[in-house]
Amino acid sequence: MGQGAATSGQGLTALQVAAALKAAAEAKVKRSADASTAIRRTASGIEAYAKNIQPEDCHQTLELTVSAPGEAGSTASVHVTEYAPAVFSFLRRVEGVSEERFAQEWSLPEDRLKMELGEGRSQALFLKSKAMAFMCKTIAEEEVHVLLQVLWEYTQHIAANPSSLLMRFYLLMKVSVQEEVGYILCFNDVFGAASVLHEKWDIKGRIPKPGKYLYYPHLIRRAYEPDPYLIETPHNMDVVVTTNGGKDTAGEKVMNDTVVVKGAEDTMKLSTLHDKDLTRLFWLPQETRRRLLKQLFSDYDFLMKAGLMDYSLLIGVAYNETKTSRSGKRYVIENMKMASLPGERNKSPQAERRPSSPEGKTAKGDLADASTSETGSFSEYVNGVHSLNDQETYYIGIIDMLTTYSAKKKAANFFKSFLWEQDTLSTIPPNKYGKRVMSFSKLIFPEVDDEASAN
C-alpha cells in the first residue's frame, strides 16, 4: 500500500493489536445497541444513507484504553484512537458485516496470535481474523492522512458502485503502547472466497525494464494457435495426453481420453507474480468482460480524480478441477501447481490451500437476491469471475491504493527518467498511471468474438 519502506508499529505484539481491535469493535457493538439509526440494506437504501455521511465525519475520533500482555508477563496499557468510526461502521454495513461478527473475528485463538511480515517493500506486518475473512496491517502515518483525505469520496463511490473492485476498508486506528506507536488498517481479503489458488498476480500495467523479462512478448496472440480462446490445460503444466487407453509417446499407460496434470503436494503459500512474469491472458465471456472492464474503469477513474497512483490489480486464479473442452477431452487435475516459467526454474510453491470456514465466506454477490438480506456483499465479483468455458475462476481486486504523487515520488520519477523509459516506471502522475493500467487491463482481459463466447 505504501509510500516506501517506512511503516509503523514494528514493536507492537499480535496480542496488543488483537486486544485493540477487539476493544474497538466491542465498543461499536455497544454504541450500535444504543443507536436508533439503521441502514436499509438495498442498493438504493445504501446509496441514500451514504448522503448522510458528511466530510467532517471523516475527521472524528474516539479514544479508549484496554489492557493487554506486555513484556515478561507484565500487563501493558494499550491506548486506541479510532478514526472516523461512523464512516467505517457504515462501510462494514455496506458489505453486510455486522458489528457483532466483526468483534467476534478479533477474538483470536492463541495459535493465531502472530504478526506476519508482508511480501512488499513496506515491511508491513499483517494479522488475519479468526475465520480469515478480514486482515489488518501496519501502515505509515502518511498513509493515514491520505486515507482520511479521500475517505468521504471513497465512501460515496463504494455506495454508488456495490460491485467496485476497490479493496474495502473496515477500520482505521492508532495503537500506542508506551513509546511504541502503530497505525492499523483493517480491510477485506480479495481472495476470501477462494478455497484454493494456483496463480497470484500483482499487476501494475508497466512494461518491464530491459533485461528484467523474457515472457512479456508471449502476451501477443500467436496466429497459428487453432483456438486462442480455449485454455486446453492449466497454464504451463506438465501434461500427458492419450487416446483410448493407449500409451503416450513416453510409453506410460494413462487413463482413457484423459489429460492428467501432475503436481506435488499442496502448500500454504503461493508466490505472487508480477508484470515481468506474464505469460498468459485472462479469458472471459464477452458480456462478463464488458461489465468487468466498465467497473474497473470506473474505479480507475475514481483513483485518478483522488490523485492516487502506484496501486495494483490483484488477480488470483483457481483452476477448475473437472472440465471438458469443446474438443471433448476430459481433464483430470491432481494437486495442480503452476510449472516453471520458460527458461527458468521456479522454486516457489505452486498451489495454495485457502482456509474454508463458513464464517469466512461471503454471501453470493447478486443484487437481486441480496437486496433483502442483512448479510453478504452486494458485489457481483465477491465469489470470483468464471472464465470463458468455465475452466478457471478469477478473484480480482484493486489494492495498495494509498499512494499520492508526492514530492518524493516526483523526485524518483525525475531521476529514474535518466535511466528508464516512462512506460517502465510506477512513479508516474496519477492520470498517466490510471490510463496506462486501463490499457493494460484491456490487454490482459482480451476481447472475444460472439461465436467463441457462445460455445
Q: Where are the domains of the chain?
A: 14-189, 198-218+268-325+381-448
Identify which has the larger pLDDT, 26 or 72: 26
Q: What is the pLDDT of residue 322?
A: 60
Q: What is the pLDDT of residue 372?
A: 33
Q: How many CB atoms lie within 10 A of CB 49?
A: 18
Query: Are 177 and 76 a contacting pair, CB within 8 Å?
Result: yes
Set of cell numbers at residue 226: 487453432
Task: Report whether pLDDT(243) > 50.
Answer: no
Query: How many angstroms separate the most distant Cα atoms in the chain?
Result: 74
b/e sequence 312-329, b meaning 16+ C-beta within 10 Å: bbbbbbbbbeebebeeeb
Checking phi first, is residue 388 left (phi over 0); if not, alpha (psi -120 to 50) or beta? beta
The whole-number average pLDDT for the span 191-200 is 92
The whole-number average pLDDT for the span 317-322 is 82
How many angstroms separate the CA atoms of 94 and 312, rounded?
23
Set of cell numbers at residue 61: 475520533
Q: Which residues lie closer than 8 Å to 211 by C-beta, 6 or more apart?
A: none
Q: Which of 163, 173, 106, 96 is nearest to 139 (CA)?
A: 173
Q: Which CATH architecture is the domain 14-189 placed in?
A: 2-Layer Sandwich (3.30)
Distances in whole angstroms, Cα of residue 224 to Cα of each of 214, 227, 281, 336, 447 = 21, 9, 17, 27, 18
Binned at pLDDT 50, 70 and 90, residue 141 comes out as very high
Identify which has the larger pLDDT, 100 or 211: 100
Identify which has the larger pLDDT, 356 or 52: 52
Q: What is the pLDDT of residue 133?
A: 85
The whole-number average pLDDT for the span 340-358 is 52
Q: What is the pLDDT of residue 413?
A: 53
- Which class for 368: exposed (0-12), middle (13-18), buried (19 or more C-beta within 10 A)? exposed
How many angstroms separate the CA atoms of 409 and 2, rounded?
12
Binned at pLDDT 50, 70 and 90, residue 379 comes out as confident
Q: What is the pLDDT of residue 271?
A: 87
Binned at pLDDT 50, 70 and 90, residue 231 comes out as very low
Task: Report whether pLDDT(300) > 90.
Answer: yes
Task: Report whether pLDDT(89) > 50.
Answer: yes
Q: Which of 123, 108, 120, 125 is nearest to 13 (CA)?
A: 125
Task: Report whether pLDDT(171) > 70.
Answer: yes
Task: Report whether pLDDT(451) > 60.
Answer: no
Identify which has the larger pLDDT, 417 or 211: 417
Report the percent of the chain where pLDDT is more than 90.
46
How many angstroms separate the CA atoms of 432 and 437, rounded?
9
Q: What is the pLDDT of residue 73?
A: 72
C-alpha dihedral sign at 21, 26, 31, 35: positive
pTM of the complete model: 0.78
Q: What is the pLDDT of residue 363?
A: 39
Q: What is the pLDDT of residue 212?
A: 47
Report the percent of the chain where pLDDT is more than 70.
65
Superfamily of domain 198-218+268-325+381-448, CATH level 4: 2-Layer Sandwich (3.30.810.10)
Most confident among 35-44, 256-265, 434-443 (mean pLDDT)? 434-443
How many angstroms separate the CA atoms of 211 and 205, rounded?
17
How many angstroms separate the CA atoms of 205 and 198, rounded?
21
The whole-number average pLDDT for the span 33-61 is 81
Q: Could you tell me whether strands 75-83 and 116-117 are parallel, antiparallel, or unpaired per DSSP bridges?
A: unpaired
Average pLDDT score over the chain: 76
Task: Report whether pLDDT(348) > 60.
Answer: no
Binned at pLDDT 50, 70 and 90, residue 106 comes out as very high
Q: What is the pLDDT of residue 157?
A: 97
pLDDT tens per residue, range 408-438: 666 665 445 544 455 555 668 899 999 999 9
Binned at pLDDT 50, 70 and 90, residue 283 comes out as very high
